């Protein structure tokens, strides 16, 4: 939920809507931008009840503003998506469902999952992929720690380095050897490592882009 991710969501949703409708068209969006420092503190304390309450309250404010659907613009905080959904009367468009649909469309049945340690180690995300027939493989413990560190010490602060990109390429290569047919960038900031033509050893599914496209489709169709 860093602003670096929010910025990309806003750009991608509006670009897709304008591409479809033309002219000066853009999406009708209400953005509830939380202080990521507070969200991060709740993550580190593993205060998921408090985090869920904060996001649910934001969801209620969005609902009161007239929103017809809600998107949580992050992978990890979908850990508390059930708490948000329980307090709003509109659908929460789940990022893992958008990712799963993209994987299925590409014929992927085994995917590497890269993101924060909770996303890689717990089942709240992987089970959504499994429900659509996609098995996940994750890095070993040392590499999970590396990926998590790069996310929070670098990418969510706007820092992108060649060294971290090379490490992610290495990790993906290892997961390809274990049967992964594609890599899910299951942190909305990891895509910054692979911009500007930087190659990866696996086809990439950018969770942010898949989710933003799902949001844009809702804006265009109402479903």
Task: Quote the pLDDT of residue 10.
Answer: 97
Task: Quote the pLDDT of residue 196.
Answer: 85
Among the listed residues 6, 74, 156, 188, the single catalytic one is 74
CA 191 to each of CA 39, 152, 168: distance values in angstroms, whole numbers, following the listed order: 21, 14, 11
pTM summary value: 0.94
Residue 25 pLDDT > 90, yes or no?
yes
For residues 72 and 9, is the Cβ–Cβ distance under 8 A? no
Residue 6: active-site member: no
Tens-place pLDDT, residues 29-73: 999 999 999 999 999 999 999 999 999 999 999 999 999 999 999
For residues 128 and 94, is the Cβ–Cβ distance under 8 A? yes
Tens-place pLDDT, residues 81-136: 999 999 999 999 999 999 999 999 999 999 999 999 999 999 999 999 999 999 99
Task: Quote the pLDDT of residue 1.
Answer: 80
**Range list for CATH 3.40.50.1860 in the chain:** 3-94+210-221, 95-207
Q: Which of 137, 141, 134, 13 is nearest to 71 (CA)?
A: 13
- Taking phi first (over 0 means left), then psi (-120 to 50 degrees means alpha), and beta for anything else, what does residue 203 get? beta
Fold of 3-94+210-221: Rossmann fold (3.40.50)
Residue with tokens 């994750």: 138
Task: Quote the pLDDT of residue 53.
Answer: 98
Task: Quote the pLDDT of residue 168.
Answer: 98
For residues 165 and 197, is the Cβ–Cβ distance under 8 A? no
Residue 12: active-site member: no
Q: Based on the number of CB atoms within 10 Å of its own CB, is 75 exposed (0-12), middle (13-18) or buried (19 or more)?
A: buried
Tens-place pLDDT, residues 194-221: 988 899 999 999 999 999 999 999 999 9
CATH class of 95-207: alpha beta
Task: Quote the pLDDT of residue 63.
Answer: 96
Task: Quote the pLDDT of residue 15.
Answer: 98
Give the pLDDT band (50/70/90) at residue 79.
very high
Among the listed residues 156, 187, 188, 219, the single catalytic one is 187
Task: Quote the pLDDT of residue 197.
Answer: 85
Residue 146 pLDDT > 90, yes or no?
yes
């Amino acid at each position: 939920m860093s602003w670096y991710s929010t910025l990309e969501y806003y750009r991608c949703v509006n670009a897709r809507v304008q591409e479809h409708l033309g002219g000066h068209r853009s999406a009708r969006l209400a953005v509830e931008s939380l202080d990521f420092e507070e969200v991060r503190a709740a993550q580190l304390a593993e205060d998921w009840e408090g985090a869920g309450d904060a996001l649910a309250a934001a969801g209620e404010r969005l609902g009161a503003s007239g929103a017809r659907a809600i998107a949580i613009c992050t992978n990890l905080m979908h850990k508390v998506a059930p708490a948000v959904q329980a307090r709003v009367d509109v659908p929460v468009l789940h990022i893992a469902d958008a990712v799963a649909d993209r994987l299925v469309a590409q014929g992927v049945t085994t995917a590497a999952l890269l993101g924060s340690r909770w996303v890689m180690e717990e089942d709240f995300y992987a089970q959504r992929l499994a429900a659509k027939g996609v098995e996940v493989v994750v890095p070993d413990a040392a590499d999970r720690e590396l990926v998590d560190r790069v996310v929070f010490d670098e990418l969510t602060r706007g820092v992108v380095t060649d060294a971290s990109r090379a490490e992610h390429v290495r990790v993906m290569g290892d997961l390809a050897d274990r049967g992964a047919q594609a890599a899910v960038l299951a942190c909305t900031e990891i895509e910054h490592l692979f911009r500007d033509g930087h190659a990866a050893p696996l086809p990439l599914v950018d969770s942010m882009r898949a989710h933003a496209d799902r949001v844009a489709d809702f804006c265009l169709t109402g479903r």
